[in-house]
Structure 1
Amino acid sequence: MAKRRITQETFDAAVKENMEEFEMDPDGALRDAVEQFESQGVDLSCIVKAAPTSSSEEHEVLQVLDSLRIGKDSDDVTELMADVKRFAAHCSLGFGQRYLAAQKDAYPVILSYCAKSSSEREALTTSLSALAALTDGQPDLLDADGRRLLLDVLKTHRADPSVTRRAVQAVRHCCLKHEQNRQDLVKDGVLPLLTDAVRQHSGCAELVKEASAALRVMTFDDDVRVAFGQAHEHAKSIVLQHDGLKVLIDAAKAHVDNTSILSELCATLSRLAVRNEFCQDICDLGGLKLMMTLLADSYESPELVRQVLGAIRAVAGNDDVKDAAVHVGGVQLIVIAMNRHVNNSAVCEQGCACLSVLALRKPDNCKVVMENGGALAAIQSMKAHTEAVNVQKQACMLLRNLVSRTQSCSQQILEMGAEALIAQAIKNHQDCGDVGKAALRDLGCQVEFRELWTGKHGSLSH
C-alpha cells in the first residue's frame, strides 16, 4: 500500500506547534514531529526535516534561492557564485531540500545562471554543480532548454575536464530512471560526447568515472512509466558507432591502481556485453586479461571483486570467452575471491553466478570448477547467507549446471550437504522453487514437481 504524503507546510506547522504549544526545544520538536508522522505511515522522504531558525521561519535552501532569484537579472553573475555554491550545498544535504527547491521553481533560476556563466569557467563549473545537485533524483525537471545547454557545454568546453565533469554529472542525474531524457539526449548526440570525454581526458580519474557511469545509465531500462525502452539499442550504438569498448578498456589500463574507477568501468563493460561478438571484442581488446589481473591483484577489495565478477559473468556468455576464462585460471581466482569474502553476500552471489556461466553446457569446465573447490564455495555461500535469495538462487543454478551433463559430480556434491541446503532454500524463498527443484532432480534426489494446469478436465465457466 502506498504511503501517505504531506506538504512541507504541514510538517513545519507541526514542528512549530510543538515548540509553541508544548514548549519543546527545536530539536525535540523536530524529533517528535518526525516520530508522529512516521507512526501514522507518512512518507517523509520529500520533507526537509529541520527546525526553523530564530532569524527566519523559511528553510535555508529557500532563503538562498530567494537571493539567487533577486540577483539573476544582474549583468555580473560572478558576484552571486557564493550563493550558488551554498544552494548546491543545501541540495546535497538530502532529497527533501532538492524537492522543496524544485517545488519553488529553482530549476529555471539555476538554468539561467548556467546560461549566463558560459564564458566564465569558474562560474560555469559552480552553476553546473548546482544544476547537477538539484536534478539528483528529479530527472523530470530537465526540459528542452536544459538539454540544449548541457549539450552545448559538452561541445564548447570539451577541453576543460572540470566543466565537462559537472555537465556529465548533470546528464547522468537527468537520465537515471527517465527513458525519454535518455532517448532525447542520445538522439541529439550525447553518446559521442561522453566517449570523447573519456578518450580525451583518460588521465582525469574523476571525469573518467563520471562519464563511464553516464554511459552505463544510457543502457538502463529502469523507468517504470515506459513499457519498452531503448537500452539495447543504446548499448549497441556505444559499441558499434562510438568504439565504446576500446575507450573504456584503454581507460581501465590507465588507472590500474584506482579501484573506484576500475569498479565503475567493469560495471559499464558488463552493460555493454549485450551481443556474442561484443563479448569476444572485449576479450580481444585485452578486457578479459585485465579482469583476471584485477581479480588476482585486488581481491581484498569486495566492491571491485563484485564488479569484476559481474563483468566476467557478462562476457562469458560467449562460449569461446568462457573457455578462455577457464584456461587462464579464472576459476581458481573466482573461488579464492569467494572464499576471501564469504561473508559478503554480493560477492558470493556474483561468484556463484560467474561459475554457473562458466560451467553451463561445458563438462570440461565443470571438472575444473569441481577440482578447484567451486561447489564447496557455493555450499559455504548458501550456509553463510540463508536469507539472501539471490545467493541461494545462483548457488542452486551453479550446482545444477555442474551435474546436468556431468553426473559423476553428483555424489561429491551431495556429500557436502547440498540436498538439505537446496531444500531449505526452496522452503524459504519462492524464487528458488523452480531452479532448486531442477538442481535436486539433476542431483538424483527425490523431488515432487507440481503439475501446472494443462487446460484439460473441464472448461472455464462464468
Structure 2
Amino acid sequence: MAPQKAVRTISQEAFDEMVKENIEDLGMDPTEALEDAVQTLSLQGVDLSGIVQCVPGESSVDDNPVVQALSRLKGLSSDSSDSENEIMELLGNLNELCSSKGSGNAAIATKNGGVELVISILPKLKKSGPHRGLDLALSTLTSLIHDLQSTETFKESGGPEIVVGILNDESQHVSILNSCFSVVAVAASGNEVVKESFMDLKIDQLVIKILKEHSGWAFPSIYDAVRVLLTADDNRVVASQVYGYARRFAKMGIVETLVHTLHEGLSSPCVVSACIALKAVAVNDEVCRSVADNGGIDAILHCIDDCGEQGNKAAARTCCSLLSKLAGSDINKSLIIEKGGLQRLIKLAGRFSEDPSVLQEVMSHISILCLRSPDNAAQAIEVGAGDLAIQAMQRFPDSEQLQRNACLMIRNLVVRNAENRKILLSHGIEKHVRKAKGSHKICKEAATDALRDLGLDNYNS
C-alpha cells in the first residue's frame, strides 16, 4: 500500500482536559472554554470526529445518548439472562441515532467501541435462530461503519468471517441476507484489505448461489456489494486486485444471473443496481461478449426503450452507461448498431431533451459506437447525432460534462468521415465547440481535438 498522510487525532480524555484547563487556568466560562478548545484544535488540523463536545457543568460524555446506548448494550450483551427485547430496543435506538446524517453519532459510536460491540453481539443473536434481532443488529452495524477507521475495526474484529457465516447459515431468509450484503457493501468501501478478506472467504460463490436461489426477489444490497467489491476505491493501494475479482465473478456465472435481472426490465426494482454491478464485472472483451451471448444487449436496449416511455431518468443514464462499457468490444458495437441502437438512443435523447445528465450519457455512447468506424459515424449523422450535439450545446451551455461529451462525439463523427465534417460545419458546429473550449477548462482538450478533426487550421486558438 502507498503511504497515507497521518491524520491528527485526540482522545476524549485529552479533549476534556483541554476544556478543563481553559476554565481553571485561563478563567474562561464553560461555554467559552469548549468553543475555544474546538476552534484551537480545528485550526491545528485535529480530527474531532467522534469527540463528544459537552459544556462542563451542564452535561458530560456519559449523558450523550450514543454513549448511554452503548454502555447499556454492553451490559446486556454480556449477561445471557437479559431479554432479547431489551437488546433489540437498544439496537434500534443506536441504529436510529447513527443513521442520522450529519449528526456525527456514527463517529462517536465508533470511537466508543460500537463496531466491536455490535459484531460481538451477532453470534449470540444467531444462536437462537433467524429473528428480527439479528436483522436489526446487522442494520445497526451498517449505520456504524462510515469511514476507513470503522472498516479497519470491522476487519480486526472478525467482521468478514461472522457476516459470511451468517450468509451461509441463513440463506433462506431474504431480509437477513439483504442486511448482510448491506454490511458487505459499506465495510468493503474504500478498503482493499476488507475486499480481499471477503473474496478469500469465497463470497463470489455465495453471491451466485443466493441470486439463483432467490431469483425474482427485490435484493438491491447484493448488487451494491458486487459493485463495491469490484471497485478500486482505496487510494492507499497502488495496484488493486479488483480486476482479478471481476474475472472470478464472471467465471462463477455472475453474467448470466445479472442479465436475467435485466430481462425483467423496469418491472424489477433492482434493474439499476444490476446494471451498475454488471458494468463493474465487464472488465475485458471476453466478459463483454458473454453479456451479449446471454442476450444482454437486447435486454439493455429494451430497457432503454422503456426508460423513454416511462420517463425513468436514473435507469436511462445507467443503461446508457452500461451499454457504453459493453461497446468496448467491437463485436458488441456491431451488434448494437444492427439492433438499431443509434436510432433508439436518439429517440431516448428526444424523450429527455431537458435533462443534460441523460443527454451526456447518450452522446458518450454514440461517441464510442463511432470510434474508428466511419460507417457508424455516417449512420449516426443520418439519424440525428449532429442535431443532438448542436441543440444540447445550445440549450445547456453551463453543463461542463455535457459540453465535453458533445466535443468528444463530434470528433469521432468527423475524424474519419469527410462528409460529416461538411455537414456539421454547414450547421454551425464550430461556434459551439469554440464556446465550450473558452468556457470550460475540462473541455479544452476535447474541443481542440474536435476543431482539428473538423479540418480547421486555427484549432489551437
TM-score, normalised by the number of residues in structure 1: 0.85
C-alpha displacement at 1:323, in angstroms? Answer: 1.6
CA distance 1:93–1:50, change in 2 (3 Å)? farther
Alignment equivalent of 1:92, drawn from 92, 99, 106: 99
Determine if the alignment matches structure 1 residue 141 to structure 2 residue 141. no
- CA distance in 2 between partners of 1:375 and 1:414 (Å): 10
Q: Which of 224, 238, 256 is the aligned partner of 1:246? A: 256
For residues 213 and 274 of structure 2, the distance between their equivalents in structure 1, rounded to whole angstroms, comes to 16
Q: Which amino acid aligns with 1:78?
A: E
Secondary structure of the structure 2 residue equivalent to 1:321: helix
Q: How many residues align?
A: 438
Q: 1:41 to 1:434 in 2, by over 3 A?
A: farther
One-letter amino acid of the structure 2 residue matched with residue 109 of structure 1: L
- Measured at CA, do residues 448 and 6 of structure 1 come closer, stay the same or move farther in structure 2, by a change above 3 Å? farther
| Contact 1:7-1:47 within 8 A present in 2 as well | no
Q: Structure 1 residues 443 and 43 mapped into 2: Cα distance closer, same or farther (>3 Å)?
A: farther
2:400 — aligned with what?
389
Aligned to 1:455: none
Q: Which moved more, 1:59-68 or 1:130-139?
A: 130-139
Kept in 2, the 8 Å contact 1:46–1:100? The answer is yes
Change in Cα spacing, 1:191 to 1:426, as seen in structure 2 (3 Å) is same
Question: Aligned in 2, Cα 1:345/1:139: closer, same or farther, shift over 3 Å?
Answer: farther
Matched, 1:367 2:374: no
> What residue identity is the alignment partner of 1:397?
L
> 1:82-125: per-residue Cα shift (whole Å, max 9, x none)?
11111111111136111110001111211111111113322211
In structure 2, the CA distance between the partners of 1:77 and 1:385, relative to structure 1 (3 Å rule), is farther
Residue 3 of structure 2 is matched in structure 1 by: none
Q: Distance in 2 between matches of 1:114 and 1:253?
A: 37
In the alignment, the residues of structure 2 paired with residue 153 and residue 174 of structure 1 have an alpha-carbon distance, to the nearest angstrom, of 15
The 10-residue stretch of structure 1 (94-103 or 423-432) with the greater mean CA deviation from structure 2? 423-432
Q: Which amino acid letter does the alignment assign opposite residue 399 of structure 1?
A: I
Shift of 1:406: 1.0
Provide the rounded CA distance (Å) in 1 between the counterparts of 2:423 and 2:265.
42
Question: Which of 262, 265, 286 in structure 1 is aligned with 2:271?
Answer: 262
Structure 2 contact 321–365 (Cα < 8 Å) conserved: yes
List alignment gaps of at least 5 residues for structure 2: 1-5
Deviations 1:16-73 (A, max 9, x none): x9xx97999xxxxx9x99x989x97989994689999x99763222221111012111
Residue 447 of structure 2 corresponds to which residue in structure 1? 436
Aligned to 1:276: 285
Q: Which residue number in structure 2 is paired with residue 66 of structure 1?
A: 71
Q: Distance between the aligned counterparts of 1:188 and 1:363, measured in 2?
A: 48
CA distance in 2, matches of 1:186, 1:345: 38
Structure 1 residue 187 corresponds to structure 2 residue 200: yes
Q: Report Cα offsets for 1:164-194 as digits up to 9, x if no partner.
A: 1111110111111111111121122111112
Q: For residue 427 of structure 1, what is the aligned residue in structure 2? A: 438
% identical aligned pairs: 23
2:116 aligned partner: 108
Indicate if the aligned counterparts of 1:437 and 1:447 stay in contact, CA closer than 8 A: no
Decide whether aligned partners of structure 1 residues 449 and 220 sit closer, same or farther in structure 2, where only a CA change above 3 A counts: same
Q: Is the 8 A contact 1:111 1:131 kept in 2?
A: yes
Alignment of 1:18-57 (within 5 A): 46=49
Q: 1:160 to 1:427 in 2, by over 3 A?
A: same
